[in-house]
Amino acid sequence: MIEAVLSIGGIGLTAAVALGLAAKKFAVEVDPRELAVLEALPGANCGACGFPGCGGFAKALVEGKANPNACTPGGQGTVEKIAHILGIAAVAADPRVAVVLCQGDNRQAALKYRYVGMGDCNAAQRLAEGPKQCPGGCLGLGSCARICPFGAIEITDEGLAVISRELCTGCTKCVAACPRNVIRMTPLSASVHVLCNSHDKGAQVRKYCAVGCIACHICAKTVPGAYVIEEFLARVIYEHHQEAGAAVEKCPTHCIRDFARGYPPGSRFAAPTVPVGGKSAA
Amino acid sequence: MMRKLKTFRGGLHPPEHKERTARLPIEDCPLPEELVIPLSQHIGAPAEVCVAKGDKVSRGQLIGRARGFVSVPVHASTSGEVLAVEPRPHPSGKWLPAVVLRPDGADAWGEAPTPVDHRELAPEQLRELIRSAGVVGLGGAAFPTHVKLSPPPEKPIHTLLINGVECEPYLTADHRLMLEESARILTGIDILRRVLGARRVCIGIEANKPDAIAHLDEVCRGTEVEVAALAVKYPQGAEKQLIAALVGREVPSGGLPMDLGVVVHNVGTAAAVADAVAQGMPLIERVTTLTGPALVQPKNLRVRIGTPLRHLVEVCGGLKVDLAKIICGGPMMGAAQLSLEVPVVRGTSGVLLLGEDDKAARAEGACIRCGRCVRACPSSILPTTIAAYARLDRFEDAERFRAMDCIECGCCSYSCPAAIPLVQAVRHAKAAILARRRKL
């Protein structure tokens, strides 16, 4: 009995001493600020900053190799915390959100063929450039929704991706996942958008989509400074987005949407409260 | 003849449906009112157009120059006037640049093709003749033939396999070609063997074409060309599976047949090579099978490249029922088409027209781990696992499970009782893996 206690105790003691020595000898110096910064980061490991996860970003911040406002999911609050820890001046973040520039769900937009296959936009795009007649419209198979680390994207029953302005942190992962380039990063403060991504001529657009931009120029005539029409497609000039709302009612195909008045039909997201901002703007 | 027929591991046997056209001789298809000749009809860089709207061209005249080594020129399929050079519907489903030609009815050559005796030419000269005639693999993949005829010096070719398997259901174009035009095929084989310096030549034919086997056996008697009957199993005509059956060796993962000293060419390609060299004729027509339950009179047709499918349907007596699906190629690997405006290209081995009742589209279910796809897979990979990774965007894992070895034969999707789009998922994974490799 006593031998057992002694031998096990002895092994334990030796191992403890060895571990203690090893911990001293092989200790890795960690800048305490790095841990503090890591604590302040959202911990989504989304990669929007361009570093491998929040850990990599924290290390780069402490080493002075990264810009504090590179963390889009964190928003202004995180920037201020990081600036406080590192003792630098906080730069105002420019909060951006992703917007799906399309409202052509399966009721509104015509199909090129019946797609039966894998529920992935990139896979569908490979078959004759996607089942939608519109070359730029949302395919609604949810590649963006699956990749979103924040659950900010829903696919409506009629096959349209809608991005929540509250939940989107601006990490841009969906932008990279979309084969049709229909998701764009836009200023969070701008709530009015032309929800169309087809550069076809108006007559063509009318054939396949009930809510597409037909480049009629009415928006640009109504508010000259806030809209520009390029390649048969209207765009909001986001520097002047405050005035853009005046053209929403004038658009004959209703492809201009003010998100302050709600999301596209079919979305289950509650209408955003005014101002249409995320956490940071509230 | 109770000998067991040679074959490969895996595969399956879908209903053949070849009876519609197997006994019908090849007919010449009349010229349509308008030919749409795409500049991209092969794997590799598209040809560069060298005619303009309003030009008068003669039959066989060069209308697109090859760009780079893996590229071939494109020729006018008949004489006539160039109406436009513009994007047109292409069998790939996209709108791609094409030369639109209005035939003048004369069908006149610019200068008469000059036949040469291939026995007097060096391999390099033969290869150049094949390249400038625009010859590509006519089995369906349309890979430039001269590239396959240019093995690096450290990989000498000892075996030339000629693919007369035609394992895709419905298609009978190669079958008819072997029966009716074996002389062209044999001339082509002689040229190919000369270019490659191959010792052994073997024609592989599926045992469901006994007449073709007997005929080629007879015409090859006294020559060194072997004719082998193969087990009736899809995809026996896939390059690697044909090698496994006839050479008894497996092409290494990520490797090419030339790593084993083997090159495979289709019987149609051999005939086109014979035309290119012995007749001096560019590749401006091919034999294709027009078939399917929706068609009034299925046919084997010799078609000028660029003939729109709509014209072929008219030649075949029109449609019995409303079209629900148009497939260029066979039903297993062919590509569904958006409309009948698509033209026949060099790779169009057949056109299959189906009505609504002929396509059994089932709703997708859950994988029940039955393993049928694994047993059917001729590449010995795990389609269900790779597809699962592809759906999760875990392409590194898909690559680890050898997604790149997939030959896209479709046996997995065909055998899946849950109708999971397996081959589509694996193709999706392959494309993502290739995109990532390019980025690195």
* Contacts A146 to B, Cβ<8 Å: 393
Question: Rounded CA gap, A130 and A119, in Å?
Answer: 12
Tokens describing residue B315: 């030649």
Q: Helical H runs in chain A?
A: 2-25, 32-40, 53-62, 75-86, 121-125, 143-147, 173-177, 202-208, 218-222, 241-244
A201 vs A273, more confident: A201
Tokens describing residue B202: 């073997």
pLDDT band at A80 (very low <50, low <70, confident <90, very high): confident
The verdict on A176 touching B (C-beta cutoff 8 Å) is no
* DSSP-assigned states of every residue in A149-186: TT--EEE-TTS-EEE-TTT-----HHHHH-TT--EEEE
Q: A126, B391: Cβ pair inside 8 Å?
A: no
Tokens describing residue B40: 């991209």
- Confidence (pLDDT) at B251: 94
pLDDT band at A282 (very low <50, low <70, confident <90, very high): very low
Could you report the per-residue pLDDT of A263-277, keeping only the tens digit for each?
999 898 887 765 544
- Confidence (pLDDT) at B113: 85
pLDDT band at A32 (very low <50, low <70, confident <90, very high): confident
pLDDT band at A76 (very low <50, low <70, confident <90, very high): confident
Q: What is the mean pLDDT of residues A59-67?
A: 86
pLDDT band at A47 (very low <50, low <70, confident <90, very high): confident
The number of beta carbons lying within 10 Å of the beta carbon of residue B104 is 16
Q: A128, B390: Cβ pair inside 8 Å?
A: no
Q: How many CA atoms lie within 13 Å of B412's alpha carbon, on the beta-carbon side?
A: 28
- Confidence (pLDDT) at A62: 87
Question: Please, are residues A262 and A153 in contact by the beta-carbon 8 Å criterion?
Answer: no
- Confidence (pLDDT) at B48: 95
Q: What angle separates helix A75-86 from helix A53-62, to the nearest 10 degrees? A: 40
Question: Rounded CA gap, A128 and A160, in Å?
Answer: 20
Does ipTM come in above 0.85? Answer: yes
* Contacts B425 to A, Cβ<8 Å: 118, 123
- Confidence (pLDDT) at A278: 42
The verdict on B425 touching A (C-beta cutoff 8 Å) is yes
Which pTM value belongs to this model?
A: 0.86
Query: What is the dihedral angle through the alpha carbons of B265, B271, B275, B279, rounded to the nearest 10 degrees?
Result: 120
- Confidence (pLDDT) at A79: 86
Q: Helical H runs in B221-283?
A: 239-246, 267-274
CB-CB: which of B361, B421, B428 is closest to A126?
A: B428
The verdict on B375 touching A (C-beta cutoff 8 Å) is no
pLDDT band at A93 (very low <50, low <70, confident <90, very high): low
CB interface of A with B, residues 100-129, below 8 Å: 112-113, 116-120, 122-123, 126-129
Q: What is the mean pLDDT of residues A107-133?
A: 93
Mean pLDDT across chain A: 89
Instruction: State what percent of residues in chain A have pLDDT above 70.
Output: 96
Residue A69 has pLDDT above 90, yes or no: no
pLDDT band at A280 (very low <50, low <70, confident <90, very high): very low
CA angle B141, B189, B261 (to 5 degrees): 70
- Confidence (pLDDT) at B162: 97
The partner residues of A187 in beta bridges, in order of sequence, read A96
Q: Which chain B residue's Cα is nearest to A122?
A: B428
B340 vs A241, more confident: B340
- Confidence (pLDDT) at B89: 96
CA distance to partner chain A, nearest, from residue B61 (Å): 31
Q: B93, A118: Cβ pair inside 8 Å?
A: no
- Confidence (pLDDT) at A84: 87
CA B115 to chain centre: 26
Mean pLDDT across chain B: 94
Question: Please, are residues B230 and B206 in contact by the beta-carbon 8 Å criterion?
Answer: yes
Residue A28 has pLDDT above 80, yes or no: yes
Q: Low-confidence residues of chain B, pLDDT below 50?
A: 1-2
Question: Please, are residues A99 and A160 in contact by the beta-carbon 8 Å criterion?
Answer: no
Could you report the per-residue pLDDT of B89-107, keeping only the tens digit for each?
999 999 999 999 999 999 9
Residue A250 has pLDDT above 80, yes or no: yes
pLDDT band at A88 (very low <50, low <70, confident <90, very high): confident
